[in-house]
Structure 1
Amino acid sequence: MGGADKGLLTLGGRPLVAWGLERLSGQVSEVMISANRNQADYRQLGVPVISDSVSGYAGPLAGLVSGLGQVSHDWMLSAPCDSPLLAGDYAVRMWAAAAPGGLDAVVAHDGERLQPVFMMLSRQSRPGLEAFLAGGGRKIDLWLEQIPHARVDFSDRQEMFVNVNTPEDLEDMEMRIANDTDSSG
């Protein structure tokens, strides 16, 4: 996207991240945004904005470890800003997999592969994640191999994993939401 901050790209007249916030806010008791730039723009959305607590850009895991340091609950649900079609039962399904206990994470699976940025993390996973990052680890899949986790089947909700990576993706998503709005009204 040419270095643009994807969360602030406009989709249907509002920032891309606002779509996910709207869907998540009906499913969880608190929402925050992890952003390392344009924090003032994100704050205008009315939710807390956090930055990476790990020095240097360490990727999505740095945002997750920072979020774990801020949450007031035992679990934190995450979703990327560029996937505006989150399932309405995302949190419920993730929680159902975590509830039996003994896990550090639950991760969405689309029926073909893991979707690791769609995950729910236990606060108890934070020290291990910090150690993984301090050791140079950056790949979510490699970290997951080291911790107790469960996969949550979302093969019936594959549309929630459609993300916006190119101008063409954004245009396709514009048409998709316009069609959804037209058919629902």
Structure 2
Amino acid sequence: MTQDDITLLVLAGGQGRRMGGVDKGWTRLHDKPLILHVLSRLEGQTRGVLINANRSLDAYEQLGYPVITDIEGDFKGPLMGILSGLTAASTPWVLVVPCDTPALPKDLVTRMIDGIGERDIAVAHDGERAHPVVALMRSDLAPDLREALAAGERKIDRWYARHHWCHVDFSDQPEAFTNLNSPQDKANLSQRLVGDGST
């Protein structure tokens, strides 16, 4: 596998309930939307980029990448966003990341490639816990995921367990996976990004 075999899928289709229902992709951090922080960390490292969104569609489209909505509505969670991306991707592999994790490792793509081996799915792990929505997976898992969703599955970990999967160790940079679920998270991450020069 090379970077040219991968499509980057940015999940921006959630309801943002823990942030008061805001579209988290457009929440600003250092005067820049979170979606732009995420893209700037990984741009140019995959063959293409897809953005999964269910609102603010015009704004996301202005970023210059294809925007895909959930195949089924009613905000059915990240698995539906992943299915939508796997279905739309033209590459054999998809790297999934959330839109609200603005300090992702800049070497995420290469380390996920190196870590997956012969497995179907690789999930980032910060040394203490896994981050299921930061994952590299085969595009041809789409039919199985569609079947799981049709059966009512909504738990991402349970769907991963159906396949040959692994963790990829990022314990050297655990803070890279901090996401924004509250105003306090935003304040903490703002300080951290200033400290490491990532703004």
Q: Which residue number corresponds to residue 151 of structure 2?
A: 135
Q: Which residue number corresponds to residue 5 of structure 2?
A: none
Q: Which residue number corresponds to residue 83 of structure 2?
A: 65
Structure having the higher helix fraction is 1
1:1-185 equivalences under 5 Å are 1-98=19-116, 100-101=117-118, 103-181=119-197
Contact 2:148–2:159 under 8 Å retained in 1: yes
Count of aligned pairs between the two proteins: 181
TM normalised by structure 2 equals: 0.85
Distance (Å, rounded) in 2 between the aligned partners of 1:20 and 1:88:
10
Report % sequence identity: 44
Distance (Å, rounded) in 1 between the aligned partners of 2:131 and 2:190:
23
Residues 100-141 of structure 1: CA deviation (Å, up to 9, x unaligned): 43x321111111222100001101211111111110000111
Distance (Å, rounded) in 2 between the aligned partners of 1:179 and 1:151:
28
Structure 1 unaligned blocks of 5 or more: none
Structure having the higher strand fraction is 2
Cα offset, 1:95, TM superposition: 1.0
What secondary structure is seen at the aligned counterpart in 2 of 1:52? coil
Contact 1:36–1:52 under 8 Å retained in 2: yes
One-letter identity of the residue aligned with 2:170: F
One-letter identity of the residue aligned with 2:125: H
The 4+ residue runs of structure 1 with deviation greater than 4 A are none
What secondary structure is seen at the aligned counterpart in 1 of 2:48? coil
Structure 2 unaligned blocks of 5 or more: 1-18
TM normalised by structure 1 equals: 0.92
Contact 2:96–2:136 under 8 Å retained in 1: yes
Cα offset, 1:58, TM superposition: 1.4
One-letter identity of the residue aligned with 2:34: L
